[in-house]
Amino acid sequence: MTDETADLDDEPVKKKKKKRKKRKPINKKKVGFWSFAVLIGLMYYWGTMPIYIQGSQLFGVCRVYIELNVQYPSELRFVDIRERGAEVTVEYITYDSFGQHIAHRAVCQYKRDENQQIVLDYFRLKRGTNDRDFLFAMEDPERVASFNKTVPFLSQQPLNLIIRGPARTLGSLSPAN
């Protein structure tokens, strides 16, 4: 060993001391306020987003039947769907040429025919969306039977199965594109 290297080995290694920065104490009131503000903002954002309701093919057939049999609507808007097995309950609003808007509730009940295809068993209409008695008689069975001839064709077609709801007002509801 040379003298130079011996001198280097004998010297103690000096470590640099890191200066710690003083941390400011966390203001719990500010953290709580901003957390609450973000939570309220997210709740408002999610609460005002439109909800798209996806129905089944049974709803699509019921929707087509309603669209074909509503007399003279200037506008027809679907608001809600409830599907329970072979029964589909649809709530919709019709706007006529006089500007009157009327809420309706329709019930479509399905069954299987002799070829084991699903067809419309009966259609029942209730005017108004509260739980009153049915004001209209059941749809004419001959009319339903003539519609059932088109159901196998409708089942193979891409139907509009999406409705947009709920909204802030009835006037702001619009069908999804």
Q: Express each pLDDT in 122-146 by its tens digit.
A: 888 876 555 566 656 677 788 888 8
What is the value of pTM for the model shown?
A: 0.62
The predicted pLDDT at position 177 comes to 36
- Residue 20, both tokens: 């710690």
Provide the pLDDT confidence category of residue 106 given band limits of 50, 70 and 90: confident
Residues 6+ apart with CB under 8 A from 103: 79, 91, 92, 93, 127, 128, 129
